[in-house]
């Protein structure tokens, strides 16, 4: 017995020793990501799957728990010379990374490490958000989404609306009919700038700012489009009429939860909410997805992408860049895009990935119906100067400012026109402060 135990121990030692030796032969590189909860688990799965797929590299992944923290911690780590090889940065952090200059451009990284990439395979409305003014992508689109309209088909069918409303005029008519039937919340909104302001301008082909939405220079000035001003005043009027309710997490049940439980019949939100709504919707809820509504007389332009991209940072050993390039090639495979789409509410970022997922019958499965609407919205046109994205500094603060001004208007502290005027004035002060910070620098 002693012999057997000794032999087993020796065998285990050899086994673990072999494993340690293999680990030591792998080149390690690091990735910091900003998603938490179930989405954070998906990010960790990518890391495990990559490490299991080959023996040359080992990716070490660290959850920073939020996009903002991931960016701020990376900046602090850079100053200490302890930054990761790669970091996940949300869409509005793109300008900061570009101006930092502390990254390896996507094309350079892949070319120097022997990878041939079809850059035009990236869906243009996705890739353009992370590209220079000349269209060269600097980072790698990863978890991406766009905004859509969620509607309670059962409730709206009761007032003769058989398909998702295409115009705000149709939305208003149907909401008023629902209200007349005693529905307490025909439309739910929150104060999210991305889905209610940025996407509104994009699909109507309206500028958010001068200088091609900031792509043309740091001296861009924020604008309030007259159509958006009209729309924002309409929302106030509809709220007073009882067609709209404000739903924020701070005020109780949040936007998506209110819709999933059948309390509110319509909302505008990210397609990334699709999976969560499917899992939490009450049993008899008949719901569907449509593109964001337009005002009558306007032609639809593509919606803008949201989410995050992956940036590879300067100042790491060359061997780590080989690993980062291998990982980025790994996640670009159609089967890995299918993994993302199947386990989250995000969308494919390449045309090849989209076609492969569509051919697999993914969008025909009952739990996934409606998710293709996001792709239709992104692909409806080629991006214009107004719909390809934003290059505005301090935009995280501008988004927060929008939420505060909307809250003031909807609570009656200001008129909507006063709130929008204050939003424009304070946003431009933030833009000028950003311009001063990067005086003498130019966007690529």
What does 276-338 look like in DSSP terms, one character per residue?
Answer: HHHHHS-TT--EEEEPPPB-TT----PPPPEEEEEEEBSSS-HHHHHHHHHHHHHHTSHHHHH
CA atoms within 13 Å, Cβ hemisphere of 405: 22
pLDDT single digits (tens) 229-266:
999 999 999 999 999 999 987 655 688 999 999 999 99
Whole-number Å distance between alpha carbons of 188 and 207: 26
Q: pLDDT at position 384, please?
A: 96
Q: Which of 76, 359, 195, 404 is nearest to 348 (CA)?
A: 359
Q: pLDDT at position 7, please?
A: 43
Confirm if 189 and 316 have CB atoms less than 8 A apart. Answer: no
The tokens of 92 are what?
Answer: 């509005």
Is residue 21 predicted with pLDDT exceeding 60? Answer: no
Is residue 72 predicted with pLDDT exceeding 60? Answer: yes
The tokens of 418 are what?
Answer: 């006063």
Is residue 412 predicted with pLDDT exceeding 60? Answer: yes
Whole-number Å distance between alpha carbons of 192 and 416: 16
Pick the CATH number of 147-303+393-437 from 3.30.413.10, 3.40.640.10, 3.30.420.10, 3.40.190.10: 3.40.190.10
Helix (H) or strand (E) holding 270: strand 266-270
Q: pLDDT at position 13, please?
A: 45
Whole-number Å distance between alpha carbons of 294 and 169: 9
Confirm if 267 and 256 have CB atoms less than 8 A apart. Answer: yes
Confirm if 301 and 381 have CB atoms less than 8 A apart. Answer: yes
The count of other CB atoms within 10 Å of the CB of residue 427 is 25
Is residue 81 predicted with pLDDT exceeding 60? Answer: yes
> pTM (2 decimals)?
0.89
Q: Which of 364, 430, 421 is nearest to 397 (CA)?
A: 430
Q: What is the 3-state secondary structure (H, E, C) of 64-127?
A: CCCHHHHHHHHHHHHHCCCCCCEEEEEHHHHHHHHHHCCECCHHHHHHHCCCCCCHHHECHHHH
The tokens of 189 are what?
Answer: 């909104």
2-145+306-364: what fold?
D-Maltodextrin-Binding Protein; domain 2 (3.40.190)
Report how far apart, in Å, the C-alpha atoms of 117 and of each of 108, 237, 312, 329, 347 are. 11, 51, 16, 9, 20
Q: pLDDT at position 177, please?
A: 96
Confirm if 126 and 94 have CB atoms less than 8 A apart. Answer: no
Q: pLDDT at position 92, please?
A: 87
Q: List all residues 6 or more positions away from 418 whose beta carbon is below 8 Å from its beta carbon.
A: 409
Whole-number Å distance between alpha carbons of 194 and 291: 15
Residue 134: pLDDT band with limits 50, 70, 90: confident
Q: pLDDT at position 253, please?
A: 66
Q: pLDDT at position 252, please?
A: 55
> What's the average model confidence in pLDDT over 76-97?
92
Is residue 183 predicted with pLDDT exceeding 80? Answer: yes
Q: Which of 199, 174, 178 is nearest to 271 (CA)?
A: 199
> What's the average model confidence in pLDDT over 1-13?
43
- Percent of the residues in the chain that have a pLDDT greater than 90, as a whole number: 83
Mean pLDDT of the chain: 92
SS3 48: helix
Q: Which of 76, 64, 71 is nearest to 91 (CA)?
A: 71
Q: pLDDT at position 435, please?
A: 96
- Which part of the chain is CATH 3.40.190.10? 2-145+306-364, 147-303+393-437
The tokens of 290 are what?
Answer: 């449509």
SS3 57: strand
Is residue 321 predicted with pLDDT exceeding 90? Answer: yes
Q: pLDDT at position 20, please?
A: 52
Whole-number Å distance between alpha carbons of 353 and 375: 12
Is residue 340 predicted with pLDDT exceeding 50? Answer: yes
Q: pLDDT at position 2, please?
A: 41
Is residue 10 predicted with pLDDT exceeding 60? Answer: no
**Stated length of the chain:** 444
Is residue 8 predicted with pLDDT exceeding 60? Answer: no
Confirm if 133 and 385 have CB atoms less than 8 A apart. Answer: no
């Amino acid at each position: 017995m002693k012999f057997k135990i000794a032999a087993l121990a020796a065998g285990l030692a050899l086994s673990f020793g072999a494993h340690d030796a293999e680990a030591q032969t792998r080149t390690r590189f690091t990735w910091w990501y900003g998603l938490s909860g179930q989405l954070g688990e998906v990010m960790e799965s990518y890391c495990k799957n990559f490490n299991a797929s080959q023996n040359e590299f080992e990716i070490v992944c660290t959850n920073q728990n939020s996009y903002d923290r991931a960016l701020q911690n990376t900046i602090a780590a850079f100053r200490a010379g302890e930054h990761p090889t790669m970091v996940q940065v949300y869409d509005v952090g793109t300008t900061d990374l570009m101006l930092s200059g502390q990254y390896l451009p996507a094309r350079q990284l892949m070319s120097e490490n022997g990878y041939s990439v079809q850059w035009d395979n990236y869906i243009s409305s996705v890739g353009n958000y992370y590209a220079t003014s000349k269209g060269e992508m600097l980072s790698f689109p990863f978890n991406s989404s766009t905004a859509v309209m969620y509607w309670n088909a059962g409730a709206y069918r009761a007032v003769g609306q058989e398909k998702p409303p295409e115009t705000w005029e149709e939305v208003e008519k149907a909401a008023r009919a629902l209200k007349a039937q005693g529905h307490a919340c025909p439309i739910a909104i929150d104060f999210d700038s991305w889905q209610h302001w940025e996407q509104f301008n994009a699909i109507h082909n309206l500028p958010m700012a001068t200088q091609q939405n900031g792509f043309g220079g740091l001296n861009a000035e924020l604008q309030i489009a007259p159509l958006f001003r009209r729309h924002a005043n309409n929302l106030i009027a509809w709220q007073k009429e009882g067609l709209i309710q404000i739903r924020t997490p701070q005020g109780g049940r949040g936007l998506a939860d209110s819709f999933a439980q059948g309390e509110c019949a319509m909302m505008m939100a990210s397609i990334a909410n699709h999976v969560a709504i499917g899992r939490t919707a009450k049993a008899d809820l008949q719901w569907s997805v449509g593109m964001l509504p337009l005002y009558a007389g306007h032609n639809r332009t593509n919606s803008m992408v949201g989410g995050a991209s992956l940036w590879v940072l300067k100042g790491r050993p060359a061997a780590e860049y080989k690993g980062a390039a291998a990982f980025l090639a790994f996640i670009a495979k159609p089967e890995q895009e299918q993994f993302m789409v199947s386990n989250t509410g995000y969308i494919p970022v390449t045309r090849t990935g989209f076609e492969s997922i569509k051919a697999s019958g993914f969008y025909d499965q009952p739990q996934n119906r409606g998710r293709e609407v996001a792709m239709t919205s992104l692909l409806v046109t080629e991006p214009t100067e107004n719909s390809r994205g934003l290059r505005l500094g301090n935009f995280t603060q501008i988004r927060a400012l929008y939420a505060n001004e909307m809250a003031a208007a909807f609570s009656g502290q200001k008129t909507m026109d006063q709130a929008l005027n204050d939003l424009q004035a304070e946003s431009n002060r933030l833009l000028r402060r950003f311009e001063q910070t990067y005086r003498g620098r130019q966007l690529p």
